[in-house]
Structure 1
């Protein structure tokens, strides 16, 4: 099955956006370097061509190249309008939502809707083949982690403190969850890339 990783950019205190869903400076590093991430990244959707530092480019290009499916919640889909059918990375997107895809919305885009986190990850596994599965942080990602459906936690930490906002892990209700030591530590410009393996409970 495809490797799953929970991923997002976060503030030092663990927020992926403020209370109004504004990301502030969290994504500035995506546009402040000299190294393009992809040849055609639909700037009309994403705001500007992605250009990052050399260290970030090597890491992000590898992650995006391996990612076949992205799993997000309905809130992120609505905020971005599904990136108009052009996600930053992946061939397919699975949206966890109790509401169906909007009528007539980009019928050519490979977007799939699932009514639960379990169903969404299962559908992503079917679509991924040998590719990896990225799971957006927040409530959906936190639920997937709590359900044991995540293999790695990847955080791009930006040196800003929000104080309050939307937490990276959503609301975890099962207490402490201990991860392994980071197997990726890369210093970019204005961002620190970290990846932690998720410890599996003995079977």
Structure 2
């Protein structure tokens, strides 16, 4: 089975959005570089919803390209799904999305897209593993991500740390209760206005 990686862009004080789900400058580094993120060949990632290609620094591109190319399925919460309207059925990376929600997929919403709705995090990871096979499962941080981490189902924590302090908002680790030990970072890459970090979860 593929690795389960909890991932998000995050402020220095570990927020992924403000209280109103605003992301402020957190994603500016995705569009301020000179290197296009490509999946290989001529396929490029352009699912921002605002008509912009993802262009990052060369250092970030060398990290993000293989990371995104390895993703087979993404697990997200219903709040994020509603905020971005499921990226209109085209996730930035991977072929499949699993949404943790007590509400079903909206009627008539992009029937061609491989989006699957389940009502708990264990079922979400099971479904994502079925869909992704040996490829990586990307779990969005926040409340759903923290539940998956607390359940012992996350293999790695990946953070794209942006030099901004939010002060309050939606936490990367949600409302997780208790300590979770991680190993020393095995990836530390400095991009422009972002620091890429990855930690394996200690078993």
TM-score scaled to structure 1, two decimals? 0.96
1:116-141 alpha-carbon deviations (Å, 9 max, x no partner): 00000000010111100000000000
1:163 matched to which residue of 2?
167
1:65 matched to which residue of 2?
69
Tell me if the contact between 1:42 and 1:86 (Cα under 8 Å) persists in the aligned partners. no
TM-score scaled to structure 2, two decimals? 0.96
| CA–CA separation in structure 1 for the residues paired with 2:48 and 2:186 | 35
Alignment of 1:12-91 (within 5 A): 12-38=12-38, 39-42=43-46, 45-91=49-95
Is 2:194 aligned against 1:191? Answer: yes
Tell me how many residue pairs correspond in the alignment.
199
Tell me if the contact between 1:71 and 1:124 (Cα under 8 Å) persists in the aligned partners. yes
| CA–CA separation in structure 1 for the residues paired with 2:158 and 2:197 | 6
| CA–CA separation in structure 2 for the residues paired with 1:62 and 1:136 | 18
Tell me if the contact between 2:47 and 2:91 (Cα under 8 Å) persists in the aligned partners. no
* Structure 1: tracts of 5 or more residues without a match: none
| CA–CA separation in structure 2 for the residues paired with 1:40 and 1:62 | 13
| CA–CA separation in structure 1 for the residues paired with 2:3 and 2:176 | 22
* Structure 2: tracts of 5 or more residues without a match: none
1:89-132 alpha-carbon deviations (Å, 9 max, x no partner): 01000000000000000000110111100000000010111100
Distance change >3 Å, CA 93–CA 156, structure 1 → 2: same
Tell me if the contact between 1:153 and 1:198 (Cα under 8 Å) persists in the aligned partners. yes
Shift of 1:42: 3.6
Shift of 1:44: 6.6
Paired residue secondary structure (1:45): coil
1:49-108 alpha-carbon deviations (Å, 9 max, x no partner): 100000000100010010000000000000000000011101000000000000000000
1:6 matched to which residue of 2?
6
Tell me if the contact between 2:142 and 2:170 (Cα under 8 Å) persists in the aligned partners. yes
Is 2:138 aligned against 1:152? Answer: no
| CA–CA separation in structure 2 for the residues paired with 1:43 and 1:156 | 19
Is 2:171 aligned against 1:128? Answer: no
Alpha-carbon RMSD across the aligned residues, in angstroms, is 1.0
| CA–CA separation in structure 2 for the residues paired with 1:137 and 1:46 | 23
